[in-house]
Structure 1
Amino acid sequence: MRLPAQTTRAGDGPDTPRRAGPVARLDRAAGGLVADVALYGLSAAFALVTALTSTLLPHRAWGAVAAWTYLAACLVAGAQLLLRRPAHRMTLTWVAWAGVALLPLVMQAVQRAGGRADRAQEEVLVVEHMGQRLADTGTPYLGPEAISALPPGEQLLGYAPYQPGMAVFGLPRAAFGDVWWTDARVWFALVTAGALVAAVRLLRSHPVRAVQFATVFPICALTLATGGDDLPVLALSLLALACCASGRFTAAGLAIGVAAALKLFALPVLAVLLVLAYTSGNLRRFAPLALGVPLIALLPAAVDSDAFAENVIRFPLGHGLVTSPAQSPFPGYLITQAVPGGRYVAAALLVAAALAIAVLLVRRPPRTAATAALFCGYGLLAAILLMPTTRFGYLLYPLALLVWSPALRPAGPQQTHSYERTTP
């Protein structure tokens, strides 16, 4: 007897019922609503605990606002579950994101413009200082001598461990002064929203879970509302993957090129997509913008190359004049603290992991955007765990990339669940 095509199609992946594991079954239960209720409920608890216990005042302010929105989203998702109506899950996701990220962001920006100095993380100040220095001197960086001349309590803020392109987000404040809409987070949010909306429009499926992990997932929402510099980098990387999935390699090159001009975290994604472009015969379309944009963005760094090296290379690796506060208890940090010569041991492990992934890329190169997303996710996860200086919030990169992988697969007629179909 011939089995139905829905259960025997090669490449159906996680949407094939007979192959789905327990996690996939839980994710799809009741059209995804069971997992939605859990996500919003747990996120509400996280936000409440953050509001009550965090030692960072911007985080406490975020939690006090976000907890109510998460709770409301949980109740709405619960009602959808009872009524068995998952049709508006994506709408709820966008509305929830407005409440858990954009609303607290604007509130903090307004309060900060009104004189509250405790309504932004240090990253926001650093990016705005980059913009001011770029406008004044032509380079966003201070050299080692200039940093050492600062008072000890201000030397940390003298560092700018980002690519020169990040300074663009600080230019509005440099040009128009201290008003709420010149806050760098506002511009982070605009780029993030534009990139995510464009990515979703390019995909043939409706990746609700993928969008949730880039928007309402607490790490992402908290980061955007209080600091925000990682979110446009992540969103542009996801847009680049979506462009590759839809065959738009020129646009993908532009998206990942801009991301790489902002932060070094985009470089592993760029490297993987270069391999994907090569294996798919699209290297000539992808490479010029993917490599050209970050190279052009380095022009301001040419004003003082030693300042660039001090800020972007030595400081993140722990060789700056001051120690980076990015010290989450991941293996790389623990090794540097507990093992003699641990910094070199952690660096060796990081290089070994990079070489292992490079060998895999050569021997089994990605041929689809979905596979490329897996390479990027696992590669960045290894890097974050092994880096001597890192932050817990950096996990938003691998988590979002790994969850986006299924959404990047070509959507076939047999891959859409009956409760999600909108056309016969």
Structure 2
Amino acid sequence: MIADAPTARRRPWPWPWRTLDTAAGGLAVDLGLYAVSTIFAAITAVTSTLLPHRAWGAVAAVGYLVATLAVITQLLLRRHRPTARLAGPGARWTITGLTWASTALLPLLWQSIDRANGRTDRAQEEVLVVEHAGTRLLEHGTPYLGPDAIAALPPAEQLLGYTPYQPGMAIFGLPRALIDTWWTDSRVWFAVGTLLALAVAVAALRATPATALPAQQAHRRDAALLRGVQAATVLPICALTLATGGDDLPVLALCLLALALAATDRPGRAGLAIGVAGALKLFAWPVALVLIVWGLTRRAGTRVAAGAIGLPVAALIPAMLVDSDALTENVLRFPLGHGLVTSPAQSPFPGHLIATALPAGRLVAAALLVAAGVAIAVRLARRPPRTAVATTLICGYGLLAAIALMPSTRFGYLLYPMALLTWAPALHRPVDTPTTALPDLSARTTSA
């Protein structure tokens, strides 16, 4: 067998999870999601040491509580009137949308308005960093400060002088560079970008009309898609991040869009989507690499790579021409721990614990990270992913391993693997028989 030939016939999740996820038409997991999220938001509102997080929790706890009560009502309706519309899939989609609005968009707008009115505790540092990058891009042609300019800042401000993102991220800071008001807060534009990317992804995956599928398949498709959307929107780690910082959400949404386009056999567009994500943040680059390998199995590697590699490179060239040293300081030296200041990202994952607790711990953690990367590379070489489902699972588990082993990381980065792994079942196609560059020997072996 050469690659993932049986993947199209294999469910991306084990049967116990499928059984739980379909219990009471999906409402059982909905109830657990919203109930646990209510508790999480309430605890955050009371105990968090970050003031933007506390403000988010106070609003989001109410939104999650209302969603919990709504699902309880749906369960009661389902029990007494199984055909009631309010207990059906359409109502679940509505509750998901309203919950995202109340737990992510509402606190985001509230904090943006408070900030515009003078509150200084209504945004995380990344919001300021992106907006400063937008101002520098507008005024100097590059979003980055050079090492000398950062060194000249007061010590307490040097961390904010760094822009550890790709040049495209500064676009979200441009509105604030033009006018200072609540709707130019970079989080507002992060939310707009996230919403647009997710909407296109959902439309792409629902392009096959439900009437063209057997009823059971259509129901499973929509249920899996709803669960994937919930993981990228109402899951607390995503709602909290969007409301208080937000820069990761459009990157995540573009990754999900790229994988959705791959699932619908549009490799060129998938490359463009992941290329835009890669022009924003490095987290999209591993996904781009796996997508290129997927493209090679369909004789479309060049089409995927054109966007996946071309767009990030095109974004880097102007910054390199204006000030290559500033680009290197922000994009390479600082993330690798060789900047004038160190990153505050220090969540207690294995990589960080090893780096701080063992002699030569950073070398040990780096070696483990490299070993994980080599293992994934060997897997890609020996069994390249032939379906979008397999591609997404490799990306999800690969990023999970990387986040766990990086010496400097954040708890919030888990939103990437969590959303990717939940998105995978939504990419399963009723007929998923790719045209591959290599023959499918497993099919011949089975027929023999």
Which sits farther off after the overlay, 90-99 or 154-163?
90-99
Alignment of 1:4-403 (within 5 A): 11=9, 13=11, 21-84=15-78, 85-87=87-89, 88-176=91-179, 178-204=180-206, 205-206=221-222, 207-302=225-320, 303-403=322-422
Question: How many Å apart are 1:152 and its aligned residue?
Answer: 0.6
The count of aligned residue pairs is 400
1:197-237 CA distance string (max 9 Å, x none): 11111114221111110000000000000000000000000
Provide the C-alpha distance between the structure 2 equivalents of 1:219 and 1:280, rounded to a whole number of angstroms: 35
Write the deviation string for residues 122-165 of structure 1: whole angstroms up to 9, x where unpaired. Answer: 00000000001111111111111111111010001001100011
Which residue identity is paired with 1:29? A
Give the deviation of 1:284 after TM superposition: 3.1
Provide the rounded CA distance (Å) in 1 between the counterparts of 2:10 and 2:357: 46
Give the corresponding residue for 2:430. Answer: 411
- Specify which structure has the bigger relative contact order, considering alpha-carbon pairs within 8 angstroms and separated by 6 or more residues: 2
Structure 2 stretches lacking a partner, 5+ long: 1-7, 79-86, 207-220, 432-448
C-alpha separation in 2, matches of 1:347 and 1:148: 28
What's the secondary structure of 2:22's corresponding residue? helix
Contact 2:12 2:389 in 1 (8 A): no
Distance 2:175 2:360 in 1: 44
* Residue identity in the other structure for 2:165: Y
Q: Which amino acid aligns with 1:236?
A: L
Q: Which amino acid aligns with 1:363?
A: R
Corresponding residue SS for 1:116:
coil
Q: Deviations over 1:353-391 (max 9, x none)?
A: 111100000100000001000010011011111111100
State the distance in 2 between where 1:46 and 1:220 align.
13
The answer to whether the 8 Å contact 1:254/1:293 transfers is yes
CA 1:154–1:316: 2 relative to 1, 3 Å? same
TM-score (norm 1): 0.92
What amino acid sits opposite 1:296 in the alignment?
A
Shift, 1:272, TM fit = 0.3
AA matched with 1:184: S
The Cα offsets for residues 333-353 of structure 1, whole Å up to 9 and x where unpaired, read as 111111111111111111111
Give a deviation string over 1:288-308, Cα, whole Å, max 9, x none: 122111111002321222211
In 2, the alpha carbon distance for the partners of 1:54 and 1:225 equals 15
d(CA) in 2 for partners of 1:297, 1:126:
18
Write the letter of the residue equivalent to 2:265: G
The letter for the 2-side match of 1:58 is: P
1:32, 1:86 within 8 Å by CA — same for their partners in 2?
Answer: no
Cα pair distance change 1:142/1:14, threshold 3 Å: closer
- State the TM-score, normalizing by the size of structure 2: 0.87
> Are the equivalent residues in 1 in contact too, given 2:12–2:424 (CA < 8 A)?
no
Q: Which amino acid aligns with 1:67?
A: A
Residue pair 1:33, 1:86 contacting (<8 A) in 2 also: no
Shift of residue 12 of structure 1?
Answer: 5.6
CA distance in 1, matches of 2:11, 2:417: 20
> Contact 2:287–2:395 (CA<8 Å) still a contact in 1?
yes
1:14 is displaced (CA, Å) by 5.9
Cα distance in 2, alignment partners of residues 378 and 288 from structure 1: 25
CA distance in 1, matches of 2:135, 2:47: 34
Q: Which runs of 4+ in 1 moved over 3 A?
A: none
Residue 61 to residue 378, structure 1, CA distance change in 2 (3 Å):
same
Identity of aligned residues (%): 67
Q: One-letter code of the match for 1:39? A: L
More deviation, 312-321/115-124: 312-321
Between the aligned partners of 1:284 and 1:90, the Cα distance in structure 2 is: 37
